[in-house]
Copies of this chain bind each other. A is one copy, B any other.
Amino acid sequence: MNILKNKILDAVKDDLEEIETALKENLKPYLDLVSQTASHILFAGGKRLRPLLMVLSARICGSKDFDKTFSIMFEYLHAATLLHDDLVDEATLRRGKPVAHSIWGNSITVLVGDFLLARALSIASDTGQISVIKIISKITENMSQGEIHQLIKKGHIDLTEEEYMEIIENKTAMLFQGACQTSAIIAGASQEHEKAISDYGLNLGLAFQMADDLLDYTSNADILGKEAGADLKEGKLTLPVIYALKQADSKDKAIMERIIKNKDFSFEEFKILLKLLDKYKGIKYTEELAKKHIIKAKKSLTGVFKPSATRKILINIADYALSRKY
């Protein structure tokens, strides 16, 4: 599936370069330490999916002179939440590198997160569009509540699929949706176009998070840059496990629960769990649900926008979201 990835990267090469430049030029801190900490998270090999979605959304909505600066607001917001979430999750690694709070401490990490969040909002205000501000502040509200919801439910074996969907919508999908929607607004898109690209973003975001959660069970640690089964060790139940628990007979359910509740499970125990996830189709169910959302995402585009190079890239991104291995 690297062909698909390379195809996308080839098509957006110039855009990605401009995005990198904008990310660097708009940081504007007066303290070196802020710049260092923010750069650690901002330039750690992120995929720039959110800025890219903004650039492509504006383009498909007909904008010819979309200011790349606007494309980075959700990347700053995303980086801010990563800084705070890694702290919340007591993570040690992100993309194979030590997390910011292990280098600069919790205090600086909290405050640099606040700074990035504020920079995101400053950039949003530069659009001059109140509706853009409303979307980004609503997303920030929901993301923090989504994270809190997930935190409260840590270790709860009874998390439902509905709750899981609500959590991933709040903490991930709304940001994708917001990136697409605000970009359409900035581009002066029609309501029909705004709705279509916004639906694309939402469904892509849901599928993206499901695919991400799947990686914890299908990828190996070297590729992922974090420990296999890391979510579960943090007490985070995701859809593959939620679904398998619901389907399992009482004996297998008891085995799974015992492994999940013991957060120090061995690799052998993890392999037993993987077998049960397979037996009860937890992986398959999640893959299929993610696929359904990708189909929806693509339909939102093809139903409204005429064929174009930009539409093709957005469709490729949707397909790639399902297939990525890290």
Contacts and interface: CB of A to CB of B under 8 A. Distances in A.
A7 to B, nearest CB: 37
Scoring A134, A138, A145 by chain B CB atoms within 10 A of each residue's CB, the highest score goes to A145
Given A110-B88, A111-B88, A34 B145 contact: yes
A266 B159 CA distance: 52
Interface stretch (A11-19, A63-71, A148-156, A250-258): A148-156
A267 interface: no
A277 to B, nearest CB: 28
Interface string A73-98: 00000000100100110000000000
A274 interface: no
A140 B114 contact: yes
Interface string A130-168: 100110111011011101110110000000000000000
- What's the number of copies of this chain in the assembled complex? 2
Contacts of A241: none
Given A122-B134, A125-B130, A107 B151 contact: yes
Nearest to A133: B125
Contact of A34 (B33, B108, B134, B148): B148
Contact of A145 (B29, B130, B143): B29
B84 A145 contact: no
Interface string A202-219: 000000000000000000
Contact of A31 (B130, B137, B145): B145
B118 A125 contact: no
B107 A88 contact: yes
Contacts of A87: 106-107, 110
A236 interface: no
**Majority SS of interface residues in chain A?**
helix
Contacts of A149: 31
Contact of A112 (B133, B143, B148): B148
A156 to B, nearest CB: 14
A115 B133 contact: no
Scoring A114, A124, A136, A138 by chain B CB atoms within 10 A of each residue's CB, the highest score goes to A114
Nearest to A32: B152
29 contacts: A29-B145, A31-B149, A34-B148, A81-B114, A84-B110, A87-B106, A87-B110, A106-B106, A108-B151, A110-B110, A111-B144, A111-B145, A111-B147, A114-B140, A114-B143, A115-B144, A115-B148, A121-B121, A121-B137, A122-B134, A122-B137, A122-B141, A124-B133, A125-B130, A125-B134, A125-B137, A126-B134, A128-B130, A130-B130
Top 6 A-B pairs, shortest CB-CB distance = A118-B140, A121-B137, A88-B107, A114-B144, A118-B141, A115-B144
Interface of A: 29-31, 33-34, 81, 84, 87-88, 106-108, 110-115, 117-119, 121-122, 124-126, 128, 130, 133-134, 136-138, 140-141, 143-145, 147-149, 151-152
